[in-house]
Amino acid sequence: MTVRGYIVGVDTGGTFTDVAVLAETGELVLDKAPTTPDDFSRGVLDALEGAARSLGLDLRGLLGRCRLFKHGTTVGTNALITRTGARVGFITTRGFEDTTLIMRAVGRVDGLQEDEIKHMAHVTKPAPLVPRGLIKGVRERVDFQGNVVAPLNVED
């Protein structure tokens, strides 16, 4: 199998940043480096440098011959699950401010075991990701196809 240029895939996780490089020869090179939460790019570059060394290249040589670069991350997912992300607000159509707080029944049982679901009366609603005080309704309207029905009132 011969490809023109390297194909690089990077996954920044909570603990490690993993990299996979498909070389022009068909060789698959794997490497990893600790994730660096204070500057995620450092973990990415460290992992890429390790893979480049395995190919006998420096980082510039690897990236200069890269034809496809894919990056994925679980950092955002982890922040949602652990609720350690930045404090955020939510801007929505006026009249819909409480929609996410009300939630449908599935929101109360997602992720629960079957025996827990059977006792739904004892299941507590999860805390909202955005507290009510940080939700703001504005005058605007968009239809199901994304067309603006009523433009945003910036005074809101």
| pLDDT of residue 62 exceeding 80 | yes
Domain ranges of the chain: 6-78, 88-150
3-state helix, strand and coil shares in percent for the chain, rounded to the nearest 5: 30, 25, 40
Predicted model pTM: 0.61
Domain 6-78 carries which CATH code? 3.30.420.40
Model confidence pLDDT, tens digit, residues 5-48: 999 999 999 899 999 999 988 999 999 999 999 999 999 999 99
Model confidence pLDDT, tens digit, residues 91-109: 999 999 999 888 776 777 7
Q: Which residue has the higher pLDDT, 41 or 128?
A: 41
Average pLDDT, the chain: 90
Are 3 and 20 in contact, with CB atoms under 8 Å apart? Answer: no
